[in-house]
């Protein structure tokens, strides 16, 4: 944020200053983790289910926090408010107003692809002008204001990701940071357990195009009928994108091809602009849709088609555990997609796996799909079946629905000795690396055995591959191969 004194912050948030807070000058950004505090930052204390940020104010002050925003009196300069969530929301809204119109806001939502699109957009726009974008998935009532408060007087583009758990969520986020450009990616099964239907999901996602800033532009996916219908819900101009070159849209892709590395090439076509070639660095043909959304938004903000193509072609993967391809022992690749996802994004990931080089054995690390409600069990069983039908050589499932995924895979013909269940992402990556020895497609009843006597991340790993880990001694030999390869530094071998 731009430098601001405590008196001004207290005025904006209607708080009570204490311990010299009025004279404190915040020159950094707002943070909620005391371990990340840098000199000049604003520390915001939240009381969560397991931790209370107020207990870490002393640590934040010692690290250099200029001021703390709290709900009860603490040590050091601080401002007391009744609700820190409301306070940072109002602070973000007011300070962003002071940065406009020089700072333009781009917002993205969708059932899948939000974070990847946000990352691509940040990469393209940052090459054109100073850009602020959220780390990870800061897309709710806390993460979005914290992202807004990263912007300062030099920021020209502010990229925001907007998620929702209920009707009105996105409209409220837009009230804090009205978008100059809004992107509606897709409507899928994510949140269907909460919203109840795809139609209800579409109503919520469409709030992003209904709440544009004056003169704002809506970016619409013409390949999704529910998104295309949102064009009727916005008062601003609309730019539509499609992967079908025969569809009449403003932004499209032609000559789409996926190489043996799983990365897509295509020709970017923008109305009135020269065609340009794009070679994405991200895995999966579904990334073309995300890239077109970014192209349309960037074009609406004045970036040339040549610069858009160059930015898309050079943008590296940014967010971990989303189609993360890891070279493993014995020449295998591990595809780690263990971040929260939904059936549509998972199917896209499985297709990406199939597109990868045929001379590699193909393994999957799949995490839980959340917020599916009563559909959760069936969708996870179907996911396992899809993995088997797409000829995965082995599968590591992560989380509470790992058993459902394994059930679907085995029932669809995947050998029970080719599937593994673990309870956390780091253990999954290590377990996957041990799965690179030969697997059998022969069906057999899973023999599940808990690995013991191993480092903490491995103690809860459940392996259904008795041919590889029949006892601790042979297990140690496999782990040794992983450790000595550098994939699991710091872990000792158990023999």
Residue 469 pLDDT grade (very low, low, confident, very high; cuts 50, 70, 90): very low
- Outline where DSSP puts E strands in 223-311: 238-242, 251-258, 263-270, 276-283
Of the two residues 6 and 488, the one the predictor is more confident about is 6
- If one counts every other C-beta atom within 10 angstroms of the C-beta of residue 165, the result is 12
DSSP 62-92: HTT-SEEEESS--SSSEEE-S-HHHHHHHHH
Among the residues of 390-469, which ranges form H helices?
402-411, 425-434
d(CA 175, CA 448): 51
Beta carbons of 204 and 167 less than 8 angstroms apart: yes
Give the integer Cα–Cα distance in Å for 42 and 312.
Answer: 34
367 and 339 Cβ atoms separated by less than 8 Å: yes
Give the tens place of pLDDT for each residue, 91-122: 999 999 999 999 999 999 999 889 899 999 99
Cα separation values, 411 from 11, 381, 400, 405, 414, Å: 62, 9, 19, 10, 7
| Digit-coded pLDDT (tens) for 298-320 | 999 999 999 999 999 999 988 77
95 membership: H or E segment, kind and range:
helix 84-99
178 token code pair: 């009205």
- First-to-last alpha carbon distance for the chain, in angstroms, is 54
- What does the pLDDT average to over 181-203? 89
Task: Tokens for 356, please give them.
Answer: 């990868």
Q: Please give the sequence-ordered ranges of beta strands (E in DSSP) within 284-426, or none if there are none.
A: 324-327, 333-337, 362-366, 394-398, 419-422
Q: What is the dihedral of CA 170, 174, 180, 185, to 10 degrees?
A: -10
How does DSSP classify residue 419? Answer: E
Q: Which of 41-50, 128-137, 335-344, 398-407 has the lowest mean pLDDT?
A: 335-344
Give tens-digit pLDDT for 219-249.
999 999 999 999 999 999 999 999 998 899 9
């Amino acid at each position: 944020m731009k430098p601001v004194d405590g008196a001004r912050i207290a005025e904006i948030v209607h708080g009570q200053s204490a311990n010299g807070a009025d004279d404190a000058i915040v020159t950094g950004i707002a943070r909620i983790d005391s371990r990340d505090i840098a000199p000049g930052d604003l520390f915001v204390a939240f009381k969560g289910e397991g931790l209370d940020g107020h207990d870490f104010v002393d640590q934040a002050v010692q690290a250099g926090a200029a001021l703390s925003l709290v709900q009860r009196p603490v040590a050091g300069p601080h401002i007391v408010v009744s609700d820190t969530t409301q306070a940072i929301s109002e602070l973000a809204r007011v300070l962003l107003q002071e940065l406009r119109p020089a700072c333009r806001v781009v917002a993205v939502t969708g059932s899948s692809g939000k974070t990847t699109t946000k990352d691509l957009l940040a990469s393209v726009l940052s090459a054109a002008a100073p850009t602020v974008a959220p780390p990870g998935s800061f897309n709710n009532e806390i993460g979005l204001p914290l992202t807004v408060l990263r912007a300062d007087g030099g920021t020209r583009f502010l990229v925001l990701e907007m998620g929702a758990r209920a009707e009105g969520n996105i409209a409220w986020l837009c009230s804090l940071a009205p978008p100059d450009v809004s992107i509606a990616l897709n409507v899928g099964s994510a949140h269907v357990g909460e919203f109840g239907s795809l139609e209800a999901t579409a109503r919520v996602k469409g709030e992003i195009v209904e709440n544009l800033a004056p003169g704002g532009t809506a970016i619409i996916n013409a390949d999704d009928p529910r998104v295309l219908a949102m064009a009727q819900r916005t008062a601003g101009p609309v730019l539509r994108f499609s992967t079908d070159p025969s569809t009449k849209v403003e932004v499209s892709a032609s000559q789409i091809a996926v190489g043996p590395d799983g990365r897509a090439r295509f020709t970017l076509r923008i109305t009135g602009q020269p065609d340009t070639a794009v070679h994405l660095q991200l895995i999966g043909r579904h990334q073309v849709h995300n890239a077109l959304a970014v192209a349309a938004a960037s074009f609406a903000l004045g970036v040339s088609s040549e610069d858009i193509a160059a930015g898309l072609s050079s943008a590296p993967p940014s967010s971990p555990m989303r189609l993360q391809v890891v070279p493993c022992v014995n020449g295998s690749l591990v595809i780690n997609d263990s971040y929260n996802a939904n059936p549509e994004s998972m199917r896209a990931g499985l297709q990406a796996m199939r597109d990868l080089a045929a001379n590699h054995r193909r393994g999957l690390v799949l995490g839980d799909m959340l917020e599916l409600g009563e559909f959760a069990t069936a969708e996870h069983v179907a996911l396992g079946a899809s993995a088997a039908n797409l000829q995965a050589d082995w599968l590591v499932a992560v989380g509470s629905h790992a058993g459902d995924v394994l059930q679907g895979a085995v029932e669809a013909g995947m050998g029970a000795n080719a599937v593994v269940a673990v309870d956390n992402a780091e253990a999954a990556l290590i377990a996957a690396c041990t799965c690179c020895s030969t697997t059998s497609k022969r069906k057999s009843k899973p023999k599940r055995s808990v690995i013991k006597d191993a480092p903490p991340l491995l103690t809860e790993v459940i392996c259904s591959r008795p041919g590889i880990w029949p006892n601790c001694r042979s297990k140690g030999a496999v782990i040794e191969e992983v450790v000595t390869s550098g994939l699991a530094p710091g872990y000792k071998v158990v023999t």
